Each structure stands twice: as C-alpha cells, then as structure tokens.
C-alpha cells in the first residue's frame, strides 16, 4: 500500500517504523521505497534503518528536491505554483536535498539510492527492479516441480562394476550379455534424468512470460500421465495459477478446485490454492461492480472472504485479519460509490401536514418502480418490495450517470383497505406547466450515490356516499320490503341548472343502490335522473330533489338518500305527499323544508349561483379510476 504520512517537517525514522510494523515475520521479501529530501530533522533515520536491516527490510531511497533548496508548492499538479507549505509560524518551508543521508540508509539496508530525475526516472527504475524481482518470484511460484528420485547415482556405480567385470571376462558370450545389460541400465538411467517434456516447456513458457501456454502444457501433462494424486495436485495448482495469470478465470477456478481435492494431506499447497480462489472471487466481485451488479458482487465477495479465511487459517499469516479487513473496505467503498439507498415510510397523513406523527397509522403496502409512469403496478416488468407492518421500506438503486430520476408509487396491502375508509395517495405538486391532476407517483431525483429518504402519504378520500332505493308505495320512506335500485344516474349539478350537462360528472350506483364516489374536496349539488322518465323521485321531498353537501380529505358526506317509484303510477296520496305541508319523517336529512318557506325556481337558482361562486365548484371534478385506490391484481407474480 502506498501512503503519505501527513506531518510537517521530515522524520525519516517514522516511515521506516511504519513499514517495519506492517511487514510480517513470514515475509521473505520486504522492500520499502522512501521518497524524501533526506533532511532528518529528528536525527533517528539511520538508527531506525539499522533495525530495519536486521529484519531483512531493503530500503530504496529516492531523492527529491535540490541542494540549493526550494519551497514546497501546495497547488494542484499542472497549475502554476502560487501557494507554498508553511510552518506553524506561517513561514514558507524551505526543503534541501541531503543525498548522503539517503544513500547511507539505502546502502545500510542493501537497497539503492537514486535521484528522482527530471521526469521521474528514479521512481521508474526502482519499480522496474521490484517488478522484475516479483516476476522471478512468480515464476518460482508457478514452477513447482514434481519430486524426482535421485537413485541414478547408485545405478552409475553398479554400471561401473558391470563394465569392469566385462573387461576382465574371457567369455565372448558373457561379454555380449553384460554389454546388453549395461545399455539397458544406461537407458533407464537417462530416462530417469529426463524431465517430462510438457513440464519443461511449461517452465520455459513461464520464463518467457506466456502463462497461457504454460497452463495448457500443465493441463496436457495432467491428462497424459497417470501419476499419484498428490503429484497431480501439484500440477493442477500450477495449471490453475497459470490460467489465473493468463486471465482465464473459469479454467483457473476449475484446476484450483481440482488441486484442493488432490492435496488433502498437503496443507501448504491447499493454502496456496485457497488464496488463489479468493483472488478469483475478488476479481469477480470487482467485475460485477463494473457491470453495476451489486447483488452478484456481494455474493462473489462473500465467497472470496471464505476462501481467504480458510487460507489464512492454514498458514497462520499474522496479517490475515488486517488484509481481509482492508480488502473488505475496498469492496464496500466501491459498492457505496455506486449505490443509492432509498428508504421511506408509508402512512396515513390524517391532518395533512406531510409529517409522520405518532398518532397517525402506518400502512403496509407494496412500493414499486412506476416504470411507465401510469400509476399502476405491472408485476411483470416493474420491480417492487413490500413495506413492513410499520410502513417502512428500503431498497437500492444503481445508476451509471447522475443526476437521474425514478418514479415511485405504492399500492396498499389488503389489510389496509376497508369499505368505510377509502384511502388515496397524495403526490407532490409538480412544477408548471404540469397538471397536478395527472401526477400519479413520486418523482425522485438522485444527484449522487448515498442515502435518500422519501415519505409516501395516504389520506381518507373525499367521498360522496349514499343509497338509492325503490320506493314501491311512494311514501318517501324506505320500508323493510323495499330494496335498493340502480335505475338512476347520479350527477353533480355544477352550474345549478338542475340538468345533467356534458361537462358534469355523472355515475351509476351499484346493483344494491349504494354509491361511494371519490371527488375533489369542495361543495357539490348532488341530483339524480331516473332511467325511466315515468319514474317519480319520492325522496328527498323538496321540490328540486337534490342535496347540497361539502366533502374534504378525511371527511365524507353524510348519507345521501334518494327514493324513486319506478312504475310511474304513484297513488294520489303519494303524489300529494310530496307537496303537503305535513311531511313524513326524513331519515338522515338535516333540513326539512316545509311548504311555507319553499322558494321559487328563480330564488333557488340565485342561491346556487352564490354558493358555487364561493366554492371551487366551477373547476372540473377530479376524475379517478377505481383501480387507483382499489387496484385490480393484474399480470403475473414475480
């Protein structure tokens, strides 16, 4: 890890101490690259270097600055130097290069000193040296050879005795026999000294920097030779490491897993294979993050941690926990740099102030991405989540660019629905020229990754509710034998002319005569028109047969009752009842007009005009589809 120690002045001992603590006792190769001007204000650098040398740490020092001295600019690279580093007294810090001090530290630890150079040649040289050393170690690591028995020396001694005997023999026949035996033994000796061709070529390929060729040669050797499992396990390890070096992750994983099965009695080989598998899944986690697939990235990283932990538990690496934590932080930081976490709550905003308060009920619901912006949940292509019983929900969103927007909507769960309380979602007012009546979701703008919060309020809908019944006997009272009727059209008389006009909202009651119509908040004149022109409206009994009522959020209308005599043959008494001063008891009607204070048609019209001017009656009523507050389950489940 390359890092800077933010401390004013130069203390050469401090970075050497930091490096010494970071190395493990098990590390065979310990290098420290120290870039400095060489000024050791604390005077402990050389002493600390001696301790580092005892631990086997080699220090490469790179000198920066000039012997004449220069100020240290703090401006970004590529910009003219205008600002410079200052000390605690506000004076500019003048740095001077001390090559002797840097050279002494390098020589003492077996390293090397180089000046940085005009274009950074010193740094390039040092890292080239370290890279070459690393390649050499890698070749040694990839070239784990099969054990070769060294019995040939003893065969040579035996062969020498046989030849000596043949030279002293007088029998030609015996000489010929012994000569043949010697050639056979010599052939066996040479065969034992030969290294398998595939392994030799694989090692050459590693030397030449061709890991793919090496991997294929190792794989070929495995398929051709019938060797014992442990030896095959070593070859499988080499093949897996070579494939990994060549970037063939799937093949590398295959051979490394094979090596694990074949080397159960070789813990050090298993540790290498497990560590390599951890590297594979670490690469996969980063690859999934490049594709913005956080779910797969997390799963790959989980497997990587398991492999790393297993490898570390075998070889007992002292820095295992620190290394694993460091890699975990790297992955977590990458995930956080991509992910927007969106969390919120769905609740019933009774007082309409937009704030979640303790006395207001939370609503269990389905929160979904309204991809087509129509306010309806399409289960086949619009992802969704369920809130908990307290209305809380949370999900993650990934975007390749910022800022970005998405539309969120919700559907109440069945336990939150009732016939008494019809709930409506409330949405933010859109900016002009968008029409608020056409907003069907919550539009969220995400400026950057991170946590974003949203509240989704619902409120009790403004509802006109009531009932129409078939007043068979025309007595303006609903008797026990009289049922509901839907043979009427109910309409909102916006202009007060007692007629249904083209732009006025109208609807039919249900089969049992009941109705519950969602409207915008305000005051309404509610009337009915029988489907049969011969039918009589028997209730309400006032002349214009209408109701003037007010509704708001969380406030429904009182029951609006309408009676009709559908056969059109009302009795004389029934007809007269509608015009008599004495009237039957009218249930659920607040004002009971009598004949003495009935007004003329002109006066009624004037009253309506005045009331409508004082209310919002002149605007168009809210058109809401029934599915909006009681959605039909369509499409298929995920």
Answer whether residue 474 shows pLDDT above 80: yes
Contact 484, 470 (CB under 8 A): yes
Topology annotation, domain 463-590+598-614? Immunoglobulin-like (2.60.40)
Per-residue confidence band for 407, with pLDDT thresholds at 50, 70 and 90: very high
Residue 141 near residue 241 (C-beta atoms within 8 A): yes
What kind of fold does domain 13-141 have according to CATH? Rossmann fold (3.40.50)
Mean pLDDT to the nearest integer, 216-240: 79
Q: 517 exposed, middle or buried (CB, 10 Å; 0-12, 13-18, 19+)?
A: buried
- Coil, strand, or helix at residue 33? strand
pLDDT at 569: 46
Over residues 318-346, mean pLDDT: 80
Q: Say yes or no to pLDDT of 417 above 60.
A: yes
* CA distances for 104 relative to 21, 45, 61, 68, 313, angstroms: 22, 10, 9, 20, 40
DSSP E strands, 195-255 = none
Better pLDDT: 133 or 272:
272
What CATH number should be reported for the domain whose range is 152-338?
A: 1.25.40.10
- What average pLDDT does range 353-380 have in this prediction? 94
Angstrom CA distances, 252 to 219, 259, 286, stand at: 11, 11, 17
Q: What are phi and psi of 410, to 5 degrees?
A: -145, 155
Biggest distance spanned by C-alpha atoms of the chain? 163
Q: In angstroms, how far is CA 94 from the centroid of its own chain? A: 49
* Per-residue pLDDT reduced to its tens digit, 495-525: 999 999 999 999 999 999 999 999 999 999 9
Instruction: For Cα atoms 412, 414, 415, give the angle at the middle one, nearest 5 degrees.
Output: 100
Average of per-residue pLDDT across 226-241 = 77
Give pLDDT, residue 7.
42
Confidence of residue 483 (pLDDT cuts 50, 70, 90): very high
Q: For the ranges 237-241, 269-273, 528-532, which has the lowest average pLDDT?
A: 269-273
- CATH 3.40.50.410 segments of the chain: 13-141
**Token pair of 172, please?**
């030609």
The mean per-residue pLDDT over the stretch 618-632 comes to: 39
pLDDT at position 149 is 44
Q: Quick check: 351 pLDDT over 80?
A: yes
Who wins on pLDDT, 400 or 442? Answer: 442
pLDDT at res. 431? 72
Which residues, in sequence order, are CB contacts of 20 under 8 Å at separation 6+?
Answer: 48, 51, 52, 55, 57
Q: Say which DSSP state 588 is in.
A: T
Give the dihedral sign, CA 38/44/49/50.
positive
* Cα gap 538→562, rounded to integer Å: 8
What is the mean predicted confidence (pLDDT) over 247-258?
93
- Within 10 Å of residue 495's Cβ, how many Cβ atoms? 16
pLDDT confidence of residue 176: 54
603 pLDDT more than 90? no
* Span(s) in the chain for CATH 1.25.40.10: 152-338
**Domain ranges in the chain with CATH number 2.60.40.10:** 340-460, 463-590+598-614
C-beta of residue 269 within 8 angstroms of C-beta of residue 234: yes
For residues 534-562, give the mean pLDDT.
Answer: 94
Under the banding of pLDDT at 50, 70 and 90, the label for residue 23 is: confident
pLDDT at 537 over 80: yes
Q: Which is more confidently placed, 213 or 401?
A: 213
If one compares 460 and 67, the residue with the highest pLDDT of the two is 460
Beta strand pairing status for 70-71 and 94-95? antiparallel
Where does 340-460 sit in CATH, by number?
A: 2.60.40.10
Exposure string for 78-95, b = 16+ CB within 10 A, e = fewer: eeeeeeeeeeeeeeeeeb
Q: Are strands 57-63 and 113-115 parallel, antiparallel or unpaired?
A: parallel
Is residue 578 scored above 50 in pLDDT?
A: no
Which letter, b or e, does each residue of 555-589 get, where b requires 16 or more Cβ atoms within 10 Å of its Cβ? ebbeebbbbbbbeeebeeebeebbeeeebeebeeb
Q: Mind listing the pLDDT tens digit for each residue in 115-163?
A: 887 666 778 788 877 776 665 554 454 444 444 444 444 545 555 655 5
Give the H/E segment covering residue 423.
strand 423-425
pLDDT of residue 244: 92
Which residue intervals of 477-624 are DSSP H helices? 572-577, 601-614
Using alpha carbons, list the distances in angstroms from residue 448 to 289, 338, 342.
Answer: 17, 9, 12
Which has the closest alpha carbon to 556: 415, 426, 421?
Answer: 421
- Between residues 184 and 419, the one the model is more confident about: 419
pLDDT at 75: 63
């Amino acid at each position: 890890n390359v890092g800077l120690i933010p401390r004013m002045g130069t203390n050469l001992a401090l970075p050497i101490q930091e490096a010494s603590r970071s190395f493990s006792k098990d590390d065979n190769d310990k290098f420290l690259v120290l870039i400095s001007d060489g000024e050791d204000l604390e005077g402990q650098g050389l002493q600390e270097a001696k301790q580092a040398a005892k631990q086997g740490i080699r220090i490469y020092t790179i000198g920066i600055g000039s012997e004449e001295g220069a100020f240290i600019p703090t401006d970004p690279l590529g910009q003219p130097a205008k600002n410079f580093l200052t000390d605690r007294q506000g004076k500019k810090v003048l740095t001077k290069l001390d090559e002797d001090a840097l050279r002494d530290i390098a020589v003492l630890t077996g390293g090397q000193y180089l000046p940085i150079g005009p274009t950074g040649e010193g740094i390039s040289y040092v890292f080239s040296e370290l890279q070459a050393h690393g390649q050499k170690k890698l070749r040694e690591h990839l070239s784990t050879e099969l054990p070769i028995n060294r019995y040939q020396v003893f065969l040579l001694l035996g062969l020498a005795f046989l030849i000596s005997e043949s030279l002293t023999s007088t029998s030609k026949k015996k000489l010929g026999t012994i000569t043949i035996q010697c050639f056979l033994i010599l052939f066996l000796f040479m065969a034992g000294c030969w290294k398998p061709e595939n392994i030799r070529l694989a090692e050459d390929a590693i030397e030449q920097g061709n890991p793919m060729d090496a991997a294929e040669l190792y794989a070929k050797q495995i398929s051709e030779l019938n060797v014992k499992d442990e030896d095959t396990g070593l070859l499988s390890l080499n093949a897996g490491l070579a494939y990994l070096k060549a970037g063939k992750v799937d093949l590398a994983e295959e051979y490394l897993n094979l090596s694990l099965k074949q080397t159960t009695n070789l813990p050090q080989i298993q540790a290498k294979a497990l560590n390599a598998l951890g590297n594979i899944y670490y690469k996969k986690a980063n690859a999934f993050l490049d594709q913005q697939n956080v779910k797969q990235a997390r799963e790959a990283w989980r497997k990587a941690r398991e492999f790393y932990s297993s490898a570390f538990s075998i070889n007992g690496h002292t820095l295992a926990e620190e290394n694993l934590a460091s890699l975990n932080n790297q992955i977590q930081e990458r995930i956080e740099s991509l992910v927007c976490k969106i969390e919120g709550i769905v609740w019933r905003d009774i007082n309409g102030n937009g704030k979640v308060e303790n006395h207001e009920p939370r609503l269990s619901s389905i929160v979904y991405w309204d991809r087509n912006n129509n306010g309806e949940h399409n289960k086949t292509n619009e992802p969704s989540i369920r809130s908990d019983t307290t209305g809380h929900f949370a999900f993650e969103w990934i975007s390749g660019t910022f800022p970005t927007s998405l539309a969120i909507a919700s559907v109440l769960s069945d336990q939150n629905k009732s016939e008494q309380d019809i709930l409506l979602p409330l949405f933010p007012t859109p900016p002009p020229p968008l029409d608020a009546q056409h907003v069907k979701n919550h539009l969220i703008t995400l400026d950057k990754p991170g946590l974003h919060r949203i509240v989704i309020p619902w409120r009790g809908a403004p509802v006109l509710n009531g009932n129409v019944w078939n007043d068979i006997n025309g007595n303006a009272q609903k008797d026990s034998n009289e049922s509901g009727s839907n043979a009427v059209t109910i309409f909102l008389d916006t202009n007060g002319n007692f007629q249904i006009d083209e732009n006025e909202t109208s609807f039919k009651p249900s089969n049992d005569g009941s109705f519950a119509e969602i409207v915008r908040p305000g005051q309404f004149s509610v009337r009915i028109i029988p489907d049969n022109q011969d039918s009589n409206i028997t209730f309400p009994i006032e002349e214009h047969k209408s109701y003037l009522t007010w509704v708001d959020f969380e406030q429904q209308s009182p029951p609006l009752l309408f009676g009709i005599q559908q056969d059109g043959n009302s009795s004389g008494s029934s007809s007269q009842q509608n015009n008599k001063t004495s009237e039957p008891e009218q249930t659920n009607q607040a004002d009971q007009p009598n004949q003495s204070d009935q007004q003329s048609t002109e006066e009624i019209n004037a009253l309506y005009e005045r009331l409508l001017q004082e209310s919002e009656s002149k605007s168009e009523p809210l058109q809401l589809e029934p599915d909006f507050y009681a959605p039909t389950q369509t499409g298929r489940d995920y």
